[in-house]
A and B are shown apart, each in its own frame.
Chain A
Amino acid sequence: MGTFYTVHFWLFSAMAIIAALAMVTRRNPVAAALWLVNVMFALAALYVMLGANFLGAVQVLVYAGAIMVVFVFVVMLLNLGENDVKERRSMGAALAASIIAGLLAAELLYVIRSQPLSSAPLLPVDEDALAPMANSLFTEHLVAFEVTSVLLLVAVVGAVVLAKRSQFANEARS
């Protein structure tokens, strides 16, 4: 754990946090989405630094690449402008929300801080990141893996059901 590592860790962390803060404060959904992509990139870098190379890649490909694109696509589709949503801009509410979020953060940090995690021995980083994961995925977590397939099927079916125009529904409306 050299200084280089540490510097970069904090760099990406700061980037993630700043991007996240930017995201939650942007009015424009597209801007928010892009800031979120920014967070995800930063996180991908942190994943890699924590030895999860494969997940870092997946993060970029699936999350930033696919999911966020869908988001932006929907935003565009709905043609949402900056003023479509009357965001609550009262300082009091924002302050209260910040206090709550801060409180939550404080509690979470307290919980984590109390744990002597730093002293625990770290497992060695496996150079071949994929093999142990695949091994685990298809043996130990096979059932879970299969469940994800059903999950995705449900997502597809659900999206179709909700998005498709039903002639019956049209009749009912007219």
Chain B
Amino acid sequence: MNAGFEFAALDLGTLLLPELLLSCGAMLVLLYGAFAPEGAASTRRAHLLAILVALVSAAAAAMLANQSPPLGAATGPLAFDGFRWASVAVILLGVLGTLVMAMEYNEGAALTAAEPPALVLFAATGMLLLVGSRDLMLIFLGIELMSLSVYVLTGLDRSRPSSAEAALKYFLLGSFSTGFLLYGMALLYGSTGTTNLPEMATVISDGNLADDPLLLGGMALLFVGFAFKVAAAPFHMWTPDVYEGAPTPYTAFMAVGVKTAAFAAFARILLDGLGPAYASWHYAAWLLAAATMVVGNVLALVQQNVKRMLAYSSIAHAGYLLVAITTRSSEGVAAIVFYALAYTLATIGAFCVLSIVSGGIEKRTTLADLAGLSRTRPALATAMAVFMLSLLGFPVAGGMGFFAKWYVLRAAIGAPAPQTKLAVILVLASVVSAVYYLGVIAAMFMKPVDESRKPARVVEPRLTGGVIAVAVLLLLVLGVYPSPAVRWARASTLPMSPGRAISAPASMQAVAPTESLIRTP
């Protein structure tokens, strides 16, 4: 490939600083684990070290985000745009929440070792790569790095068969879907002759390849692979089983980190690389979004286990995010980022509450275990109520969750090709979701305590409580004054390759201001 790519000009150290810090930090944690005595104290220290690493990485990302992109970043395999940094921020937020939760959870579940935090950091490296890459090869490797780490994290609890079972299912189905993904990448490569997304876009629009069967087939298989990763229907069936079986903190990690990263990469491929073929993939994305919203919400309805319910709910949220993708507008991109933030805060918070309430016993996450929580632990119950309402997209009491939905709807309806039908499906599906989210609230606030289901030990929410508090605070504050988050989301634009749009391209430009395109710093 001779695409004028100047290796010397690319300052890898700058471009990859957060990822480098993360992976090196992970190795540091591993080293610490190798020399530290086995026990709870070391586990805590290893986690604290990992948290520090994540924070440093976040700081590096923040620093980079405020810099102008280095030379060569416009076409290279690594993106240097707002979308990347925004996704990184959301992912690292999830990573931090996971690490804090895991620190206290692992002590209770006797998962003491330094490897789990290290694996979380490795997975985070993969996620960051995933959202920062503009090359199919790197995206593939990012996915694999992330997935392999998460497979292991899922099966981490060796005392529970369900943990191993979840890991096996996740692994087998995950690698199966990877086969499709990879095949898709191969066909895309075959059709366009490149793995670099901007180049791919150019080739497609220059060669008028949007209807090339090879490209279509490639896109279809790519859809399958990504639909699996983001848990879109009908590729979602692994989700509830895996979410239920995995140790709670890592379930949370999957729900927020994996989903956000996979989504960001999917969005980047579709909007940046395959943008010119919008007309070709729009229909499939539409179907996927609709099916996912309906299936996720309807299936969540009868779940008694809250972890499982949240799994289905995460499927539904994937559907909402897909709606934003189908708009193929910069508002849609901003909506994805904004939504991901709100979703991450609420989901991490909800899992934190679950991990405290269950007292380290994985089975104790059913609605019956939450019954009467408002009497025994009112603050926790209130926080959980906020998270549920936020996931429901309810204003004020649910905080930012509402604006997330609002933003997606705005993007869908204001898009150059308005997605009004999807918007209606979205809100109707949300109505269904109200039933199960409220079911949690009803259990906590309107049912008596089930004495037979008292947790073995009462976990004092220490740092996890802090995470919950921060999540609630952020959600509520951004729920009445979302402007900072909106501005942040708007700034996180994704270069969208122009191409054959469904409707008039002139209106497209009005929505996507040129100054947000990264090409001209």
Whether B316 is near chain A, meaning CB under 8 Å from some CB there, is no
- A169/B159 in contact, CB under 8 A: yes
Interchain CB contact under 8 A, A153 and B141: no
- A151-B141, A154-B119 known; A110 and B213 CB under 8 Å? yes
A72 and B209 alpha carbons, distance in the complex (Å): 45
Q: Inside 8 A of A154's CB, which chain B residues have their CB?
A: 119, 122, 145, 148-149, 152
Contact residues of A: prevailing secondary structure = helix
> Any chain A CB within 8 A of the CB of B480?
no
Asked if B442 is an interface residue, CB under 8 A from chain A, the answer is: no
Which of B27, B142, B144, B158 gathers the greatest number of chain A CB atoms within 10 Å?
Answer: B158
- From the candidates A111, A115, A139, A144, name the one contacting B135 in the complex (CB within 8 A): A144
Query: Which residues does chain A contribute within 8 Å of B38, judged by CB atoms?
Result: 167-168
What per-residue 1/0 map shows which CB atoms of B135-172 lie under 8 Å from chain A?
Answer: 10110011011001101100110110000000100000
B176: CB under 8 A from chain A? no
Q: Flag A136-159 by CB within 8 Å of B: 1 or 0 each.
A: 100111111001101101110110
A168 and B110 form a contact (CB under 8 A): yes
A45 CA to B99 CA, complexed, in Å: 48
B interface size (C-beta, 8 A) = 47
| Chain B residues numbered 1-41 whose CB sits less than 8 Å from any CB in chain A | 1, 5, 7, 12, 16, 23, 27, 30, 38
The distance in angstroms between the C-alpha atoms of A172 and B108, with both chains bound, is: 11
Contact of B141 among A139, A148, A168 (CB under 8 A): A148
Cβ distance B155 to chain A, nearest Cβ, rounded Å: 6
With contacts A147-B138, A161-B115, A162-B155 taken as known, whether A142 is within 8 angstroms of B12 at the C-beta atoms is: yes
- Mark interface residues in B236-276 (1 if CB within 8 Å of A CB, else 0): 00000000000000000000000000000000000000000
Complex partner residue of B122 from A108, A139, A140, A150, CB under 8 angstroms: A150
* Smallest CB gap from A112: residue in B: B214
CB-CB contacts of A111-140 with B at 8 A, as 1s and 0s?
110110100000000000000000010011
- Interface of B (DSSP majority class): helix
Name the B residues within 8 Å of A153 (CB-CB). 27, 122
* Cα distance A114–B218 in the bound complex, in angstroms: 13
- Return chain A residues, CB-CB under 8 Å to B155: 162
Q: Does B112 contact A (CB under 8 A)?
A: yes
Q: Is B113 an interface residue (CB 8 A)?
A: yes
* Shortest Cβ distance from A168 into B: residue: B110
Contact of B325 with A by CB under 8 A: no
B159 touches A144 (CB 8 A): no
B78 interface residue per 8 A CB criterion:
yes
Contact B125 A115 (CB under 8 A): no
| CB neighbours of B479 from chain A (8 A) | none
Across the interface, do A143 and B27 meet the contact criterion of CB distance under 8 Å? no
Whether, in the assembled complex, A87 has its beta carbon less than 8 Å from a beta carbon of chain B, the answer is no
- A173 on the B face (CB < 8 A): yes
Task: Let me know if B77 and A143 touch, CB within 8 A.
Answer: yes
Are A172 and B110 neighbours in the complex by a CB distance under 8 Å? yes
- Residues of A with C-beta under 8 A to B183: 108
Once the chains are docked, how many angstroms separate the CA of A172 from the CA of B125?
A: 32
A151 and B159 contact, CB distance less than 8 A: no
The yes or no answer to A25 lying at the interface (CB within 8 A) is no
Cα-based distance from A136 to B137 in the complex (angstroms): 13
Q: A144 contacts B138, CB within 8 Å?
A: yes
Cβ contact of B78, chosen from A143, A155, A169, cutoff 8 A? A143
**Chain A positions near chain B (C-beta within 8 angstroms):** 107-108, 110-112, 114-115, 117, 136, 139-144, 147-148, 150-151, 153-155, 157-158, 160-162, 166-169, 171-173
6 CB-based A-B contacts, threshold 8 Å: A143-B16, A144-B137, A147-B142, A153-B27, A158-B149, A166-B113
Known: A115-B212, A117-B190, A144-B77. 18 other contacts (CB 8 A): A115-B190, A115-B191, A143-B77, A144-B135, A147-B141, A150-B145, A154-B148, A154-B152, A155-B148, A160-B115, A161-B116, A161-B152, A162-B155, A166-B113, A168-B110, A168-B112, A169-B158, A173-B159
